Structure 1
Amino acid sequence: MRLKILGFTTLMALLAACGGGNGGTNPPPASNTLSGTVRLGNKASSAQIASSGRLLTSDQEEFVPGEVIVRFKPSLSVQSVSSLSVGGVSLQRVRALGLESTGLYRASTDTAGTLRLVQGLRARGDVLWAQPNFIQRALKTPNDEFYPYQWHYPAINLPQAWDIEDGTSSPVTVAVVDTGVLVQHPDFAGKLLPGYDFITDPRQSNDGDGRDANADDPGDEPGGDSSYHGSHVAGTIAAATNNGTGTAGISWGAKIVPVRVLGVGGGTLADIADGMLWAAGVSVAGIPANPNPAQILNMSLGGKGRCADSPAYQDVINQLLAKGIIVVVAAGNSNEDAANFRPASCSGVITVGATEFQNARARYSNFGPRIDLMAPGGDVQADLNNDNFADGVLSEHRNDAKNDYDYVFYNGTSMAAPHVAGVIALMKSKKPALTGAEALDILRRTAHPLDGTACTGQGPDSHPGSDCGAGLIDAFAALQALDGGGGTNPNPDFTLSLSPNSLVIPPGSSANTTLTVTRSGGFSDSLSLSLKGAPNGVTGSLNPSGNSATLTLNVAASVKPGSYALTLEAAGGGKTKTASLSLAVGTSAAKPTLEGAYVIACFYLGNDCDQIKSRIIQVKGQTSGPYSFGDLAAGDYLLFGWKDLDGDKDVSAGDYLGAYVENGQIALVRPSKSGLNFALEEVQGTGMLLDQVQHALRSLRSR
């Protein structure tokens, strides 16, 4: 893979215009300097490149200014760290969180200052990770006003499923991590277990205080007309059913543990994380133990941003998964790739997109490879079933104007996720030992795939059917599959992926890459693997293991240096799929030198490089050489370097790339400082560091 980052003419103009930098052995100015030594390192794997982490935070990611979540290394107790000082800014501990050695800290600073604090904390030797206290919001689109109107249940063959299991044989506990519930709503009579309100800020809580044992939902709009989002979600999972009133819930026997984490303006990740842990029965400091740990968590909430940039989320989810908890999350309502939303992009969760009345992807639903399943989310802008009501999902609500409990139609992936959580509750009621992996496998195998037309939904963009996961869930088929029947997806298929997808190998050497086979729709045929397009002198051996295979590529000493396009092919079940592999054969005779490498001092603005204050220089040397920047403006800088080894003016396989890091994280530094030494490592494949450097370099283009 080649990433165009900076044209040669532009780079030369930058070099001439920037000034203030000294290469080679010229002495640095007396003040406002950054200096060190850069060297050419050894060959680095793509995993090593990725391990440096991502520094930049999307401008669409919301967080509480001044609040940072910090996880210290296990040897340090968070109770022993009541305050921190980073770059002259003091942070005070607000409280310890449920995660081990993790605390919430607060400082008086703005958004940009918060990001600087995060980077400073990441550079500390006693810190495992640090992140902003991200804000998450309920994922729904509200609208207005019993079983005959719940079209979304027949859409997943739920009436037939109830004939097999209605959830009463072995009742399951489901935690709804949301806005709390309307505990006095008549359709929750006998359905609720004791919950907890985890909202810390009374202004956000809207009930006059902070955390307490009352998970009743006072509303998320102080003036009225609140969403009562958590009640709508909980009603789909387990509203009182077959009682002659209101709506039906999916699992007639399931119990709901309401966990209130969202209030006015949403909720913070610090509160959400503690609520998730408590719901699963994990001890949270200062909070009474949950006497009814959940077996399933429903999280119809989220926000913009990748889960990889929020280690708190993934750490909490990992703890839940280790306890056997099944976590179901909404994909998001932005008609975008779910990989850019959290917790939808977190590992181990079941990510759910939304369909509308015609069983196509809803116009708002996020999509992409991270989607596991689709479920009804509705569309309140349509009435395609001509029942004189909007085609939303009908569930519990409260009418603030009339001071009365009622039912409304909402749409969103928030409404789709509880359909999956409810069906899993039915499955687990029938088979209490059911695991999350087993549940997801069955739901995938029994789902109805959405083809390329259905997967476009009603939105303006066209997305292939694979962007809708395994397709629309089928409750009846899933319960049948628990007995060994059914479970044959009408569209069995598989895909291939390579990591890394490019290799740099000197003549007379070898390297490995891993081929992964992802099966869907119950595809179980054996596959025949082969390597295509290898030039003379290049051979490959494949060592299969389950759904993956290690390819060892051997390059004979006689192979001429150059770039070669290879293909890995897998055939079986009447299907053939390929994955491309880029091979660069280098020469082992002449070792590269540092001569001509660039070092860039990026004046960091929070998510970009300042167009005036940044500096770029060329360095001299064989394998190492000094660099120094002088007369720099006061502020935070990123330091990184690039050696365009093949002269193609792209960052590509075989080039050398690196950045100044501290404790495994790309660090921010301030003048004056010396000894900022770092290495440029050979690029193999791509990683987060490459993406980050690419972003920073692009910001210098217009100089």
Structure 2
Amino acid sequence: MRALPSAPVEKVIVTYKSQAAEAGSNAAAKTDAAEKAAKTGEDLAFERRLAGGAALVDLGDAATSQDVNEVMAAFRADPSVATVEPDIRAYAMAVTPNDTDYAKQWDLFEATGGMNVPSAWDKTTGSGVTVAVIDTGYAAHSDLASNVVSGYDFISTSADARDGNGRDADAKDEGDWNATDGECGTGSKASSSSWHGTHVAGTIGAVTNNTKGIAGIAYNAKIQPVRVLGKCGGSSSDIADAITWASGGTVPGVPANPTPAKVINLSLGGASSSCPSVYQTAINGAVSRGTTVVVAAGNSNANTSGFTPANCSNVITVASTNRAGSRSYYSNYGTLVDVSAPGGETRNATDTPGTVTTPENAIYSTLNSGTTTQSTENYKPYQGTSMAAPHIAGLAALLKSAKSTLTPAEIESAIKTNARPLPGTCSGGCGTGIADAAKTVDAVTGTTQPGTVFTNTNDVTISDNTTVSSSIAVTGRTGNAPAALKVGVDIKHTWRGDLVIDLVAPDGTVRNLKASSSSDSADNVLTTYTVDASSEVANGTWKLQVRDVASGDTGYIDSWSLTF
């Protein structure tokens, strides 16, 4: 987000081997610091013991980088020292983007209806990932240009393409306007060009921190415009070929894609009771090549099962939510919806169709001011599942960038598993909830947030005069366990005085939580113990060990937990 300041190192962190006197004695660590000071000629002083057991040694504010290197070399040469490292500085990274219209992007940051995107940017911004936007093509926009790579025009009919030819290497959006009612079939209406693909692209990958416009979700990813929608929409044959080409597959008569996409966004669809085989074949091929395919659920306030490609397999189907965190009145729903994302809502369901009463509640993104052909660039709020899908495509790009080995199935699973329940309402089915970008990125990068609770709810029978245990596998932590590790215990037993309860650390160290007592005849153990576990590595298998020391009363471990 910004260049980091350079700060001198003033302290080093020394971890002694467990058998060394300095590992447990502050006096010994202080003496060692004095000895190293005499050896190096530096002004060293033991400052304090850290929670993990290491010693913090102060070098003074006049230490140069050469002084630091000499001190660290002296500690490394000591056979009683396990590790020595500089006490480096960290800085806040989730800086609010300076894009002038960022405040309008509630969909990224608001707690109620937003997708918690900014907190993910500390770990990933989409670098190294190309996202194909299979749509109307690209209307030139300065807030996108540096993130756009060459795409392709897959519209095979020149009249629909409006560029005087069929397929070609120019993905320029020539406009999708209709001049008269009925021009595109019964019930179709005259309309201006939508510049739909450019709006979708901005949500995914608008250039960020450029003091203009908006911020993209995966703002260091590349956007590949692939044109399939022109006059009167687009054909399934063209769209299927575009999916194949975008993911690196071979399309007869079309040059190979030099920058295959690892994410495809399909904010398009039509009515169909089943997924056409031409779509499913193309999607399966894309997924087999490692490309995640994201599809809009549709805007008919109906079951997604009747709309395609949202009803295809191997895709992430996305419903739309509004600023209040409820299903948008127009959004399709149903069991085929995988997850929801902000798509906006600019009127109530009971308002006159076409009425826009709250444009600030839609999704603000890049656009063009032309009514038919391209004119000047601008920004405008749109609503639709077409706007929801690119939020998930952007998140998929963040995940793929953070962990390149993720498969499409793993990306889908991570997004769905880490979604949060809708704070509003959803009738009909909105998938697993609203996607949470930061939580999902943390999950795939193995970062567990402070305050995380690990729980085992499996019952374990406690018989007379026996010892039993229940395990919890802790993962995703860095460093040691806290000095105030919370151990929540729920044991059902008819004479709790019979029980000895211990916490066993991953290295086998036993800490007693409760002793037996022949005079304690009360039922059950329902409490939380606080344990200083700062000398223990956090990750690993922890055990709650329960020993029954008498006869006549039995019970079971109902559940227990560790709070880090």
- TM norm structure 1: 0.45
For the 8 Å contact 1:353–1:468, the answer to whether it is kept is yes
For the 8 Å contact 2:104–2:360, the answer to whether it is kept is no
State how far apart, in whole Å, the 2-side matches of 1:272 and 1:389 are: 31
Please give the secondary structure, in 2, of the residue aligned with 1:406: strand
Please give the secondary structure, in 2, of the residue aligned with 1:214: coil
Give how far 1:262 is off.
0.5
Equivalent AA in structure 1 for residue 433 of structure 2: G
Aligned length: 332
State how far apart, in whole Å, the 1-side matches of 2:249 and 2:124 are: 30
State how far apart, in whole Å, the 2-side matches of 1:178 and 1:365 are: 19
For the 8 Å contact 1:196–1:214, the answer to whether it is kept is yes
Residue 394 of structure 1 corresponds to 364
Give how far 1:437 is off.
1.3
Residue 159 of structure 2 corresponds to 203
Residue 342 of structure 1 corresponds to 308
State how far apart, in whole Å, the 2-side matches of 1:296 and 1:437 are: 12
State how far apart, in whole Å, the 2-side matches of 1:327 and 1:475 are: 17
Residue 124 of structure 2 corresponds to 165
- Asked if 1:454 corresponds to 2:410, the answer is no
Mark the structure with the bigger radius of gyration. Answer: 2
For the 8 Å contact 1:206–1:222, the answer to whether it is kept is no
Residue 446 of structure 2 corresponds to 484
Residue 541 of structure 2 corresponds to none
Residue 371 of structure 1 corresponds to 337
Residue 470 of structure 1 corresponds to 432
Give how far 1:436 is off.
1.2
State how far apart, in whole Å, the 2-side matches of 1:388 and 1:377 are: 14
Equivalent AA in structure 1 for residue 320 of structure 2: A
Please give the secondary structure, in 1, of the residue aligned with 2:269: strand
State how far apart, in whole Å, the 2-side matches of 1:244 and 1:197 are: 32
State how far apart, in whole Å, the 1-side matches of 2:178 and 2:333 are: 34
State how far apart, in whole Å, the 2-side matches of 1:284 and 1:483 are: 36
Q: CA, structure 1 residues 444+307, in 2 after alignment: closer, same or farther (shift >3 Å)?
A: same
- Asked if 1:235 corresponds to 2:199, the answer is no
State how far apart, in whole Å, the 2-side matches of 1:313 and 1:344 are: 10
Find 1:148's aligned residue among 103, 117, 121: 103
Residue 333 of structure 1 corresponds to 299
Equivalent AA in structure 1 for residue 408 of structure 2: G
Residue 148 of structure 2 corresponds to 192
State how far apart, in whole Å, the 2-side matches of 1:147 and 1:403 are: 24
The one-character-per-residue Cα deviations of 1:332-371 (angstroms, maximum 9, x if unpaired) are 0111111111111111100000000001110011101100
The one-character-per-residue Cα deviations of 1:602-625 (angstroms, maximum 9, x if unpaired) are xxxxxxxxxxxxxxxxxxxxxxxx
- Asked if 1:358 corresponds to 2:328, the answer is no
State how far apart, in whole Å, the 2-side matches of 1:417 and 1:190 are: 22
Residue 409 of structure 1 corresponds to 381
State how far apart, in whole Å, the 2-side matches of 1:260 and 1:276 are: 11
For the 8 Å contact 1:446–1:489, the answer to whether it is kept is no
Find 1:269's aligned residue among 225, 236, 241: 236
- Asked if 1:254 corresponds to 2:221, the answer is yes
Give how far 1:440 is off.
1.4
The one-character-per-residue Cα deviations of 1:659-690 (angstroms, maximum 9, x if unpaired) are xxxxxxxxxxxxxxxxxxxxxxxxxxxxxxxx
Q: CA, structure 1 residues 445+219, in 2 after alignment: closer, same or farther (shift >3 Å)?
A: same
Q: CA, structure 1 residues 236+368, in 2 after alignment: closer, same or farther (shift >3 Å)?
A: same
Give how far 1:403 is off.
2.6
State how far apart, in whole Å, the 2-side matches of 1:489 and 1:213 are: 50
Equivalent AA in structure 2 for residue 258 of structure 1: P
Residue 70 of structure 1 corresponds to none
Residue 512 of structure 2 corresponds to none
Equivalent AA in structure 2 for residue 303 of structure 1: G
For the 8 Å contact 2:202–2:365, the answer to whether it is kept is yes
- TM norm structure 2: 0.56
Equivalent AA in structure 2 for residue 265 of structure 1: C
Q: CA, structure 1 residues 414+231, in 2 after alignment: closer, same or farther (shift >3 Å)?
A: same
Residue 395 of structure 2 corresponds to 423
State how far apart, in whole Å, the 1-side matches of 2:176 and 2:162 are: 7
For the 8 Å contact 1:307–1:313, the answer to whether it is kept is no
For the 8 Å contact 2:178–2:232, the answer to whether it is kept is no
Give how far 1:188 is off.
1.5
State how far apart, in whole Å, the 2-side matches of 1:336 and 1:322 are: 30
Residue 19 of structure 2 corresponds to none
Aligned-residue RMSD, C-alpha: 2.6
Give how far 1:297 is off.
0.6
Equivalent AA in structure 2 for residue 150 of structure 1: Q
Q: CA, structure 1 residues 388+374, in 2 after alignment: closer, same or farther (shift >3 Å)?
A: closer
The one-character-per-residue Cα deviations of 1:125-180 (angstroms, maximum 9, x if unpaired) are xxxxxxxxxxxxxxxxxxxxx1110110011111111122222xx42011111111
State how far apart, in whole Å, the 2-side matches of 1:432 and 1:289 are: 22
Give how far 1:489 is off.
12
Structure 1 unmatched runs, 5+: 1-145, 457-462, 493-572, 575-703
Name which structure has the greater RCO, CA cutoff 8 Å, separation 6+: 1
Residue 91 of structure 2 corresponds to none
User: For residues 93-132 of structure 1, what are the structure 2 equivalents within 5 Å?
Assistant: none
Please give the secondary structure, in 2, of the residue aligned with 1:468: coil
Please give the secondary structure, in 1, of the residue aligned with 2:360: coil
State how far apart, in whole Å, the 2-side matches of 1:198 and 1:205 are: 9
State how far apart, in whole Å, the 2-side matches of 1:412 and 1:441 are: 24
